[in-house]
Structure 1
Amino acid sequence: MVLLRVDPLGLSRSRFALSPFAETLSAMIVLSRPCTDFWLAAWHARHQAAFRARLDADPFTRGLVMLCGSTKYLPDHLVLPPPGGMGTTLESELVEVARVPDTAVRSSLVRSVAQSWEAHDLDWLTGHAHGARTAELFREVWQEHVAAHWAGRRALLERDVTYRAGLLAAHGWPRALHQMSRRSAWVGADAIRFNDRPGPDRVVGPDGMLFVPVSGPCGAWLCEAPGRPYALVYPARGAGGQCEGERLDPARSERAVARLIGAGRAAILRELARPATTSELAALLGQSLGTVGGHLAVLREADLLVGTRVGRRVVYQRTELGDLLADAGPGSASSAAEPT
């Protein structure tokens, strides 16, 4: 079990960040596999054929992507902490990746191959300037498959940050970090469990940690670099629902919930797969603040959702009962997150 040990000073300086690079890496892994998540189905269907053609045409791309999707140790040059907090840009991250020396790239790839659960080789790692080639690959994948959807995805990620910031303000970091990933958890008084595999503990420095949501449905990874804060990448709440399991027909599920509680309230409950404020819901659904507020009051009385105050705003999220009613799989897709 790998623990991230953090003292009170480091914890007080921990914060959230965004990483377009991590979002692109997550998208590449998702596109390399069959789609299992309803909310990503339209995007996946539109982009997978072109992405698979890229894999078939370029051994470097195929080798790197397939390795990343089947190893317990992501290559070091792909897991650098984002440098700009919530305002991190892709270009700022690509500059750092491009600077990684070939010897360092090869060394970390060898370790990734050794910790993969599938057979891999490095015959595809030919030539030189591996860091620069990786940066160019990520730039192209971002432009072709992610950039057009970034506004919606960023809104999803910011809503997760808002939700967790509310928990942080009200209850502290242990509650804010609850269920970031399937394996992470707060342990004792001073440690975050990163995963349940054997490995050395890490000591978080006085600058604290970064917590970085991505919209991919499964998996989490740790980013580290000398002299930089650790960054824990995790799937945003509601981004992909469950990672496994049988799904109900989405249209049938939505009709059933609408008949039970009304179409307007069902739409709000479905949208709250990702926490949101009243004004965010009104904008997403094209309804007035008064209408949304009335629906929220009824849903709260029915114990289908709860509100957490963050400064002057109240962020709403579904309860476990609300998740069950909305079926948090087919019904968790937001039209604002992934346009069809």
Structure 2
Amino acid sequence: MIEYELAENDLGEVRFAISPLNELVLSLRTLRDPGRFPLQLPWLRATEAARAELPLDLLRALTNEALWSPDFLTPRPYTPLGRIDAEFAALTGTPAAVVRADLVAVHPAELPPVLRGRPEKVLDRVLAALRAYWEACFAPYWPRMRSVLEADVVHRGRVMAQAGLAAMFADLDPHVRLDGAVVSVRLRANLAYRTSTAGRGLTLAPSLFSRRATAPISAAEPPQIMYPARGLATLWETETSPSADALAGLIGRGRAGLMGLLETPASSTDLARRLGVTPTAVNQHLRALRAAGLLASARHGRSVLYHRSDLGDSLVRGSGRV
């Protein structure tokens, strides 16, 4: 079990961040064992041809049978909305000793052939492979992925503001809990350490490629918990279920469809994609629903995310739609 002692048991000790690099590296798990990630199968099918042109032996070697990855490839993000170019640039300065130690931690018995050699050269090969993987398989889909991750962060922020820090951790993942001033993460692996967040804080990073909460292998790494993001089941949806007749008769079928989708926060761009209409059309409905008090909105980075208000939740529940 991993334990983080919060230096101050308040909201200021915890922050959220989204890292495209972390998502890129964690997604390598789907290449090693796609059966564990059924909700990502549409993406795997869509990128199958592109992956055929990549150094798959090297990419697969960056995880092991337990689906661990080297800590240096999943560093704690230091900005709420990371940029892949900046994250790749930061990796180029990784010390050779760290590269070697982290690879050995993932493959303690023997390094795969593609990861052998001078650490500096290995790092260059790894970064080149990851950049190619990003361009071929992630860049076209990242805006869609990011919208789901941003919606998760907005939801966690609402829980934390309304119900407190302990409730937010309880909602995060069944394997994470806050007991007093200690946050514990229960892992499958026989791995245990305890460290303080003093002077470093605790970063929470939602992920589309984590089935349960994870933390760095090494206690020397900055405190971080990566956890499964809400809304993953909606990531590759292209259509919605029919609206309940009662709600549709009251506010119209299009707006009823939006209300059904907005149980979890989403941007107008994401909603337009899922409904198969233009963002302009969606924005007209969103403005009307928000003016009626059925929706609320919150800005996250450059995106505005919409979600049902308490009144909107009551209306949808009363219509029998949920």
Q: TM-score, normalised by structure 2?
A: 0.72
SS class of match (2:206): strand
Shift of 1:2: 2.1
218-227 vs 188-197, which moves further: 218-227
Aligned pair partner of 2:154 in 162, 184, 199? 162
103-112 vs 5-14, which moves further: 5-14
Shift of 1:136: 2.1
Once residues 71 and 161 of structure 1 are traced to their aligned partners in structure 2, the CA distance between those partners, rounded to angstroms, is: 27
Give the match for residue 123 of structure 2.
131
CA pair 209-291 structure 1, distance change in 2 beyond 3 A = same
Aligned pair partner of 2:70 in 50, 75, 78? 75
Q: Is the Cα–Cα contact under 8 Å of residues 263 and 307 in structure 2 kept in the other structure? A: no
Once residues 293 and 201 of structure 2 are traced to their aligned partners in structure 1, the CA distance between those partners, rounded to angstroms, is: 36
* 1:18 is aligned to 2:18: yes
Unpaired segments ≥5 residues, structure 1: 242-249, 298-305, 328-340
SS class of match (2:205): strand
* 1:109 is aligned to 2:99: no
Once residues 18 and 267 of structure 2 are traced to their aligned partners in structure 1, the CA distance between those partners, rounded to angstroms, is: 20
Q: CA RMSD in A?
A: 4.1
Shift of 1:47: 0.3
Give the match for residue 61 of structure 1.
59
Aligned pair partner of 2:81 in 74, 87, 97? 87
Give the match for residue 254 of structure 1.
241
Unpaired segments ≥5 residues, structure 2: 273-278, 300-304
Give the match for residue 99 of structure 1.
93
CA pair 73-31 structure 1, distance change in 2 beyond 3 A = closer
* 1:288 is aligned to 2:288: no
Shift of 1:157: 1.5
Give the match for residue 247 of structure 1.
none
Shift of 1:209: 1.1
Q: Is the Cα–Cα contact under 8 Å of residues 265 and 306 in structure 2 kept in the other structure? A: no
Give the match for residue 194 of structure 1.
185
Once residues 258 and 30 of structure 1 are traced to their aligned partners in structure 2, the CA distance between those partners, rounded to angstroms, is: 36
CA pair 121-280 structure 1, distance change in 2 beyond 3 A = closer
Q: What letter matches 2:103 in structure 1?
A: L
Shift of 1:205: 1.6
Once residues 279 and 106 of structure 1 are traced to their aligned partners in structure 2, the CA distance between those partners, rounded to angstroms, is: 42
Shift of 1:24: 0.8
Q: Is the Cα–Cα contact under 8 Å of residues 16 and 161 in structure 1 kept in the other structure? A: yes
Once residues 37 and 87 of structure 1 are traced to their aligned partners in structure 2, the CA distance between those partners, rounded to angstroms, is: 27
Q: Percent identity?
A: 21
Give the match for residue 276 of structure 2.
none
Give the match for residue 175 of structure 2.
183
Q: What letter matches 2:123 in structure 1?
A: G
Once residues 321 and 184 of structure 2 are traced to their aligned partners in structure 1, the CA distance between those partners, rounded to angstroms, is: 30
How many residue pairs match? The answer is 294
Give the match for residue 212 of structure 1.
205
Q: What letter matches 1:288 in structure 2?
A: H
Q: What letter matches 1:79 in structure 2?
A: T
**Residues 126-158 of structure 1: CA distance to partner in whole angstroms, max 9, x if unpaired?**
333222322222222111111122222222222
Q: What letter matches 2:59 in structure 1?
A: T
143-152 vs 6-15, which moves further: 6-15
